[in-house]
Each structure stands twice: as structure tokens, then as C-alpha cells.
Chains A and B, each alone.
Chain A
Amino acid sequence: MTEQAATETFADLIACEDVLMFVTAAITSTGQREFHHGAAEQRLSLDFLHEYVRTNYRELYAAALALGVNDHNAATIIVGLLRHAADVPPDRRRAEGALIARRLERMPQHRVHGVFRALRRAKVNNRRTRAIARDWFAARRDPAFDAVKYRAGVRDAMRHAHLKADGELGAFLFTRATAGRFTTPLFESWRRAHFAADALYDLPYTVAEGFAAEHGVPRGVFLQRIEPRMTRLERLRLQESTRAMKKVTAVNEHADLAAMGLTRLASYVLGLSLDDRAARRAELTGALRAAARRTAGAAAGTWGRVAAVLDDSHSTLGSGAKRRRPLAVALGAHHLLEALAAPGAYTPLWTSGRTDALLLYPYGPTPLGERVLDALETGPEQLVIVSDGFDNAPPGLAGEVLRVWRTRLDPGRAVAVTHLNPVYDAADFDVRRLSPAVPTAGIRDAEDLATLTGLARFAEGRLGLADLRAHLDEQVARFLAAPR
């Protein structure tokens, strides 16, 4: 360790800081509007970070794909790596290529088409890019379904990457719908849907919706008949709107809350009216608890005494683009921490002072300092703070309390304190920190809570660049070796 400390230079420290800053930003920000900052500020700030890290630490930049960076940033990283590849040695390109291919596999399909479209717009069409597109298309399980659902995207990407469309795919993508019959059933349904309203119920929901509008099918009839074709998320999304319209009940019965991800489920719950939540209390709480237990997995019950300070102030409203996202993350974290803590040893403290987690809505100021004090008084082993860091009642009190706590009352670090922040602060190129005494990490999905508390160790500055590299290498290896 002493040897390593000696070789650790100032530049290494800065590199470590820069990379962590980038990873935090790439996990948290989606370039969308937040409560405090507009979309343009977010994008400007994020694009700068991308360019800065890509130019200076290209290797670590690529490795970020293996971490839990969100899809928006993964797409930006991939496009950036492929656009600026002129003086990268072949072995690095191979390593990057493996990461890119792996990440593309995991991304939702429309995001991948977004990447291809961005590459096309940037006029990037080298051999490597074409190979990546070829391999991605080759790995798709159901090309016919993809082609119907994302026809324009598939067509543009195949044309751009000079890919050969086998069999009827070429005719489907590149000729007019009226040209002639197909033998592939899905293609044939798509062709027939142009003329016959009956045929559209074999198509994916999003495609059928357009045809239904064209044929003037009443919305209620359409939803009822297309229901088996909906994906799980489409069903969830439509459940409430159809209920509000009093159209169909069929959609309701099949919405599968138990299989939802924790944060998505929390967002869904917070989108319901308070009356609905109260009426469906057992069902919703059960689903949230089940999702949290599933996420916690083997780690359930191992964290000992846990206290959480959770932000439900007015600013957790998020923005039109990220509606109630910060509150949803806090609600997800609340249930996850309950599962991680030893049974009965979990204390949640919402900033508003409310105690019923199901009936939350963004309200009031953010008295983080007082709540942190309340939490410390319960004598926890772990203290997790989920907040956007705009501590304003009074401002800066949480930082002061944590500083004094660390220096005077708990210099031995008996209590592990972590601050998780769901909001990227465009002005600081980082998430807002409460205090230098406490590690802060960005969080986008409550599911990542456990891994992020691990990453937050680096932010505390006690581990150096070598440790960070080792951590990233390990993550990359695990990412590439993970089963498909």
C-alpha cells in the first residue's frame, strides 16, 4: 500500500475524480429536464462531460458501459466511441467492440435504432460500425417481428450498414405494402391490415394502433381485442388510462404488478390517485414488498440496523419529462432497505414527517439536517440518505450535522453513511453533495442501491486510481462473461 501511495500522483487523483464524476453523471442524468435545471442545461453539461472523459480517459470511458450507466448515456458513449476511433490501436478497438456489442444486446431495441440513426446522421460508416450492426441483427431472435414493429428503423439501419435482407425481409422493408402476398405470417398480416381491419389484431400493439386509427376502429373494441398482444409495460401504461376512460376492464385484470421492476412499480403507485392507493393498499404494498425482496435476493436481512432519510419534498416532483422520478426512487429505496435490514430494524424518516409510505406526494421543504439527526438518534449501523441534495430548511444544515458527527461524535466511522442522489446537477457536473464527510453516488433505479453504495466508497477519496481501475476491470470482466 505504501508503495502504491508513493506512485499515486496528483494527476491520478484528478483522473480518479473525473472518472467518478462522469460515472455518477452517466448513471443519473438522462439529458431530460429536471426540477431545477432545464433539458438544454442538462444536455450541454452532459455532452461536455462525455467529450472531456472520452478525450482524456478513453479506456475508462469505454469501461463505463459495463457499469450501470443509463441507456441514454450508453448510447452516447457508443456513438462517441465509434465516431472518434481514428488513432485507437487495434487491440483497444477489439476490447471496445466487445463492450459495445454486449451493451447493444442489453439495450431496448428502439434505443439501438437510435444509435444506428445517430451514426447515420454523423456519417459514420466504417467497417467496424457495419460489423457491429451486422452482428447485432444476426443475434436477433425474431427478425420478422422486429421488422414489423420497427420497420423504418430496421430499414434505415440495414441500408446504412449495407446488410443483405434475406428472404421476404427485403421485399417487406423496401417495397410497397401493396406489391404482393407474403408467406411469412406476420408480414402477410401487416399487408392485409392495410385493407382489412381484422388482420391488425395479429400485429404488435404499437403498429396495430396506427392501423386501427386508419380503419376507424372504436378505441374500446380495439383495446379489448389487441390486449393479448400487449407487452407487460404497455398493459401497465394503458391500465389507468383505460380505467379513466371507462373503456375496458380486460386490461386491468392482466396487469402483472408482481413482475414489475421496483422503481417502475414505485412510479406506477405514485401515479395513482390517493383514493386508489388507499383502496388497493394491500395489493400495492404487497407488490412493492415482493419486488424489493426479489431485488434484495440473498442480501435480504443482512444489513443490520438501517435508518433511511428519504426526501419527499416539493422538488421530488421532478419535471414533465421525469414525473415524480426522485420520489419514486426514494419509495423504491424505502422498500429495498426494509428488505435489506434485519427484520424490524429499519427506520424510515421522510423529510415531510409523514409515515405512510403508500400515500406520499411531493410536499413541503427539505429539512434534511433535522431528519439526519433523528436518524442518528436511532443508533443505526447503516444510514442511507436519498435526496436531491437541495437541503433548504435551513440550507446546509445536513452538511454541518454530518461534518460535526464525523469529526466529533463518530470519528471511528462506526455508522456507515451514504448519500444517494437521483438528480444530476447540471451546473456542477455532478450530483449535489451534502458534505465531503459523506460519500455521494448518483442513482437512477432503486434496484442499483446496493452496488452504488459500493461505488460511493471511491467518491470518499480513500481509494485511488489503481483501485478504481481494478474495480472497473472486474466489472468489465463480469459484464462480458455474464450469460446472455
Chain B
Amino acid sequence: MIPGSAPFRLDGLRTGPPQSWGAVRIVPLLRDAPVEGLRLHRSVYDGGVRAVDVGDGSRYVAYIPHAFVATYGDDDAGTASYGTRMGAAGRAAEPERMAFGALRRMARRRGRDRLRFLPLHLAVEGYLALHFGGPEIVWERLSRRVVAGGLSPRAEQAVLGLQVAGLEDALRIFEIHPGQCGVCVYAADSLASVFIVPHPDDYRALHATLLEDMFGELIYHYALLMPSTGDLSGRIDAAAVRSLADLRAETRRLRAEWADFHDEVMAGGVLTYGGEYRTVQYLEEFTLGRHLPEFVPGRENHISESISHDDGRIAYFKSFRLSEAQVRRGHLLRTLARNDWHVQAAAADLGQTEAAFGLRLDRAGFGDLLRPDVLDLYRAEARRGRA
């Protein structure tokens, strides 16, 4: 596990000029040289609903329009990548028991130099499985169900990219830059997703898959409610220009200013990363892992997954902006876990009365955590306090 405080860096990636359409702004990320040794392909599933046997009798069921296949090693680094499918025999076969533990089931080896993983599922699963096992200490206020079965199952909602107003048109109209390996998608100028691949050809092939990605409910509403984004282009200082050379220098300045502004302000929420990082799988010199944020309510919180090279370069990255309610849920779980699932201690940690904290858990959808009679007690206490 890499220390959570290590900042996430975009080595070798330059920020390009933005293109906007309606409420959606798309910022390209360019590479001077592709990351060698890893290619991403798109594996198209025609079945749709997939069930993965997790191994202990339960199944992970998901609707999967496509998966990514990471091919590493040098042998076929130069091949075209669109629509690569797994062999029919491989797909028809029943998913075998996962050789990797519960955390790794979304990533699966296909052959010796290939890894199939479902885009964003790794990150989302990381969030869903947050303190999955439930309390380690049996406090009397916790309900029997939680003590016995943990927090499973938990459900969160996300919308398909197609449903985000204007995203389809924005992606269709977007003019892909030469050497472009990634993109930051903004809805109403709040960061919805960062998507980075190792090679420009991969990006060209996978550009449209952004439409099949998950986006948070926050992004859905922002895109729906914002008519159009503002103009962020800078102005040339006419007084400083005496010749064509000055004019050219000014345009260079505008470009650099934009890149700085974007990296520091607009994408700051994901690029300056707190939270924790967990390695999921090693692929020779690459590492597949996922990031979880610090869950600070009121701030941007992104969950993400990445493949990084041993030298620190990011080969693949995909992030998902959590909505405010999701952040609050993560925050509450974190607080509880930090206090060893002791309700009173957690409430004190947040500076709240026990009843207020209990009701807050209930409002966040964690009413099941507490025994019903304890919850009733909190409600009565709150009523008395108000009266």
C-alpha cells in the first residue's frame, strides 16, 4: 500500500485547450510519447448482463456494455485496437472460480499477458465495499443483522453517460488532438471524470466509450440545469504588443496560463489527491490499483482506478465524482470505523450528541446499523429536544 498522502502526478501529460458544448467542457490531455508496454482494448460484450461467481456461493451481477482489456509486454504494442474481442470459446465458457481474493474479482487475467477489467467497476466496488465486513466489536447498540452479516448488500446509483444532458453531442463534436491520450470531462465546470489511456490510438478507439461510463447523480443534475458554460479564454493585453513576435509570445502565455489554471483550479480536486491507494494487481512493470478519497463533505471527492508504471507515469486512469450524499455516507462509515464502531465515540468525534448522530446515520441510509429500539430512543430524544 502506497501512503495515502502521496500526490497523484500526471507525469508526461500536458493539458490542452478546452472545447465546450452546452454545459459540458472537455479538456484534452496530451502525451509527447505514449507509455510503452501497455495497450488498452475494448472488449465488447453482447450479452449485457454478466454474473461473476465470486467463489463463496455469491455472485456479482452487473450490466456491462464493454470491458477493457489491457495487453502488456512489447509483442503487440503496435496493433490497432478498436473492437478487439475475446475469442468466442473464452467467452462461452463459464466464468471460472476467481483465483484472486474478493478484492480482485473485477480484474481477471485473460491469458498470460492480458488482463480484463470492467471500467470504473474497480473504483466503484472499492467504494461499495467500504468497511464491507462491518463492525469488529459487538457493541450492544448495533443491530444483530449488521453484526452477523456486515454492510452487504449496499446499493448506490449512477447514471449512464448517455443520460447526461449534452454529453453525447459534446463527445461527437469534440475534435481529438494529435497525441491525445486522455480527457477531463466537466459538467457545469465541475469535474465529472478523468480518463487517461497509454496510447493515442487507444484513446481514439475508446473516446466514444465515455458515453457508456457511469456518472454520478450530481453530474447528471449539473448538466441538466446549466444551460452553457462560460467563456474561460483569456485576453491578450493589447498594450503589450508592438510586433508580431510580441503577439506570438502573448498567445504562448495564454496557453501556459490556461494549462496552469486547469491543473491547479479546475482539476485540483482529483490531481491533488489525498485519501488512500490500494494495489489490486501487478502486471509486470505496471500496477493496477484504486484510490479512495478522504470523504470530506462539501468538497470534491473522486473515486478512481489507475494503472501506473513503476517509474510513476500513469498509463491508465479513470475517475468517478461522488455525489454529496455518497460522500456523506463514506464519511459516516469512515468515522464509525475510526471509532471502532462505537456510536457514542463516533458522535463525540463529530461533536454531535449521540441521538443526532444516530438520526444522521438513519438519514444517510444506514438505519439498519442500529437496533430499532435504539433508533426509536434517538427519535424520542430528538422530539423532546425540539419541544
Residues of chain A whose beta carbon lies under 8 Å from any beta carbon of chain B: 35-36, 313-315, 363-366, 369-370, 373, 376-377, 392-397, 400-401, 403-405, 407-409
Establish whether residues A394 and B244, one from each chain, have CB atoms under 8 Å apart when the complex forms.
no
Establish whether residues A407 and B238, one from each chain, have CB atoms under 8 Å apart when the complex forms.
yes
List B contacts of A396 (CB < 8 A): 231, 233
Establish whether residues A364 and B177, one from each chain, have CB atoms under 8 Å apart when the complex forms.
yes
Complex interface bits, B251-263 against A, C-beta within 8 A gives 1, otherwise 0: 1001100100000
Question: Top 4 A-B pairs ranked by shortest CB distance?
Answer: A394-B17, A396-B233, A314-B175, A365-B175
Establish whether residues A409 and B244, one from each chain, have CB atoms under 8 Å apart when the complex forms.
yes
List B contacts of A313 (CB < 8 A): 175
Q: How far is the CA of A315 from the CA of B238 in the complex (A)?
A: 31
Q: How far is the CA of A361 from the CA of B232 in the complex (A)?
A: 30
List B contacts of A35 (CB < 8 A): 173
Q: Report B45 CB to chain A, min CB distance, Å.
A: 28
List A contacts of B20 (CB < 8 A): 395
B91 contacts chain A at the CB level, 8 A cutoff: no
Establish whether residues A401 and B19, one from each chain, have CB atoms under 8 Å apart when the complex forms.
no
Q: How far is the CA of A396 from the CA of B234 in the complex (A)?
A: 8
Establish whether residues A395 and B233, one from each chain, have CB atoms under 8 Å apart when the complex forms.
yes
Q: Report A264 CB to chain B, min CB distance, Å.
A: 26
Establish whether residues B247 and A397, one from each chain, have CB atoms under 8 Å apart when the complex forms.
no
List B contacts of A401 (CB < 8 A): 236, 247, 251
Establish whether residues A405 and B19, one from each chain, have CB atoms under 8 Å apart when the complex forms.
no
Q: How far is the CA of A157 from the CA of B34 in the complex (A)?
A: 64
Q: How far is the CA of A41 from the CA of B367 in the complex (A)?
A: 50
Establish whether residues B243 and A395, one from each chain, have CB atoms under 8 Å apart when the complex forms.
no
List A contacts of B250 (CB < 8 A): 404
The residue in chain B whose Cβ has the minimal distance to the Cβ of A353 is B178
Establish whether residues B244 and A364, one from each chain, have CB atoms under 8 Å apart when the complex forms.
no
List B contacts of A405 (CB < 8 A): 247
Contact A404 B17, CB 8 Å, known A365-B175, A394-B254, A397-B233? no
Q: Report B60 CB to chain A, min CB distance, Å.
A: 39
Complex interface bits, B7-30 against A, C-beta within 8 A gives 1, otherwise 0: 000000000111111000000000
Establish whether residues B247 and A409, one from each chain, have CB atoms under 8 Å apart when the complex forms.
yes
Establish whether residues A393 and B177, one from each chain, have CB atoms under 8 Å apart when the complex forms.
yes
B299 contacts chain A at the CB level, 8 A cutoff: no
Q: How far is the CA of A215 from the CA of B248 in the complex (A)?
A: 68
The residue in chain A whose Cβ has the minimal distance to the Cβ of B228 is A427
B80 contacts chain A at the CB level, 8 A cutoff: no
Complex interface bits, B235-249 against A, C-beta within 8 A gives 1, otherwise 0: 110100111100110
Q: Which of A36, A377, A400 contacts B235 (CB 8 A)?
A: A400
Q: Report B168 CB to chain A, min CB distance, Å.
A: 12
Establish whether residues B173 and A395, one from each chain, have CB atoms under 8 Å apart when the complex forms.
no
Q: Which of A36, A314, A403, A404 has the most CB of B within 10 A?
A: A404
Residues of chain B whose beta carbon lies under 8 Å from any beta carbon of chain A: 16-21, 173, 175-178, 231-233, 235-236, 238, 241-244, 247-248, 250-251, 254-255, 258
Q: How far is the CA of A36 from the CA of B21 in the complex (A)?
A: 9
Establish whether residues B177 and A408, one from each chain, have CB atoms under 8 Å apart when the complex forms.
no
Q: How far is the CA of A359 from the CA of B232 in the complex (A)?
A: 35
Contact A404 B177, CB 8 Å, known A393-B17, A394-B254? no
The residue in chain B whose Cβ has the minimal distance to the Cβ of A399 is B233
Q: How far is the CA of A314 from the CA of B26 in the complex (A)?
A: 15
Establish whether residues A400 and B236, one from each chain, have CB atoms under 8 Å apart when the complex forms.
yes
List A contacts of B17 (CB < 8 A): 365, 392-395
Q: Which of A314, A403, A407 contacts B176 (CB 8 A)?
A: A314
Establish whether residues B233 and A394, one from each chain, have CB atoms under 8 Å apart when the complex forms.
yes
The residue in chain A whose Cβ has the minimal distance to the Cβ of B250 is A404
List A contacts of B233 (CB < 8 A): 394-397, 400
Q: A36-B21, A404-B236 are in contact. List 8 more A-B contacts (CB 8 A).
A: A365-B177, A373-B251, A377-B244, A393-B16, A394-B233, A395-B231, A408-B242, A409-B241
Q: How far is the CA of A24 from the CA of B305 in the complex (A)?
A: 50
Chosen A-B contacts, 16 in total, with CB atoms closer than 8 Å, are: A315-B175, A365-B177, A373-B244, A373-B247, A373-B248, A392-B17, A392-B18, A392-B175, A393-B175, A397-B233, A400-B233, A404-B247, A408-B238, A409-B241, A409-B243, A409-B247
Q: How far is the CA of A365 from the CA of B2 in the complex (A)?
A: 38
List A contacts of B19 (CB < 8 A): 365, 392, 395
Contact A394 B175, CB 8 Å, known A377-B244, A401-B236, A407-B238? no
Q: Report A169 CB to chain B, min CB distance, Å.
A: 50
Q: Report B114 CB to chain A, min CB distance, Å.
A: 31
Establish whether residues B247 and A394, one from each chain, have CB atoms under 8 Å apart when the complex forms.
no
List A contacts of B241 (CB < 8 A): 404, 408-409
List A contacts of B177 (CB < 8 A): 364-365, 393
Q: How far is the CA of A364 from the CA of B16 in the complex (A)?
A: 12
List B contacts of A376 (CB < 8 A): 244
List A contacts of B178 (CB < 8 A): 363-364
List B contacts of A409 (CB < 8 A): 241, 243-244, 247
List B contacts of A404 (CB < 8 A): 236, 238, 241, 247, 250
List A contacts of B258 (CB < 8 A): 394
Q: How far is the CA of A315 from the CA of B235 in the complex (A)?
A: 25
Q: How far is the CA of A396 from the CA of B17 in the complex (A)?
A: 11
The residue in chain A whose Cβ has the minimal distance to the Cβ of B258 is A394
List A contacts of B231 (CB < 8 A): 395-396
List A contacts of B238 (CB < 8 A): 403-404, 407-408
Q: How far is the CA of A264 from the CA of B19 in the complex (A)?
A: 31
Q: Report A352 CB to chain B, min CB distance, Å.
A: 8
Q: How far is the CA of A36 from the CA of B19 in the complex (A)?
A: 13
Q: Report A4 CB to chain B, min CB distance, Å.
A: 32
Q: Which of B18, B247, B254, B255 has the most CB of A within 10 A?
A: B247
Q: Which of B21, B176, B238, B255 has the most CB of A within 10 A?
A: B238
The residue in chain A whose Cβ has the minimal distance to the Cβ of B28 is A365
The residue in chain B whose Cβ has the minimal distance to the Cβ of A351 is B175
Q: Report A18 CB to chain B, min CB distance, Å.
A: 25
Q: Report A162 CB to chain B, min CB distance, Å.
A: 49
Q: How far is the CA of A361 from the CA of B260 in the complex (A)?
A: 33
Q: Report B18 CB to chain A, min CB distance, Å.
A: 7
Q: How far is the CA of A397 from the CA of B232 in the complex (A)?
A: 11
Q: How far is the CA of A409 from the CA of B242 in the complex (A)?
A: 7
List B contacts of A394 (CB < 8 A): 17-18, 233, 254-255, 258
Q: How far is the CA of A396 from the CA of B247 in the complex (A)?
A: 14
Q: Which of B231, B244, B258 has the most CB of A within 10 A?
A: B244
List B contacts of A364 (CB < 8 A): 175-178
Q: How far is the CA of A405 from the CA of B246 in the complex (A)?
A: 11
Q: How far is the CA of A401 from the CA of B255 in the complex (A)?
A: 13
Q: How far is the CA of A376 from the CA of B16 in the complex (A)?
A: 24
Establish whether residues A397 and B254, one from each chain, have CB atoms under 8 Å apart when the complex forms.
yes
List B contacts of A400 (CB < 8 A): 233, 235-236, 251, 254
The residue in chain B whose Cβ has the minimal distance to the Cβ of A362 is B175
List B contacts of A363 (CB < 8 A): 178
Q: Which of B20, B232, B248 has the most CB of A within 10 A?
A: B248
Q: Report A40 CB to chain B, min CB distance, Å.
A: 14
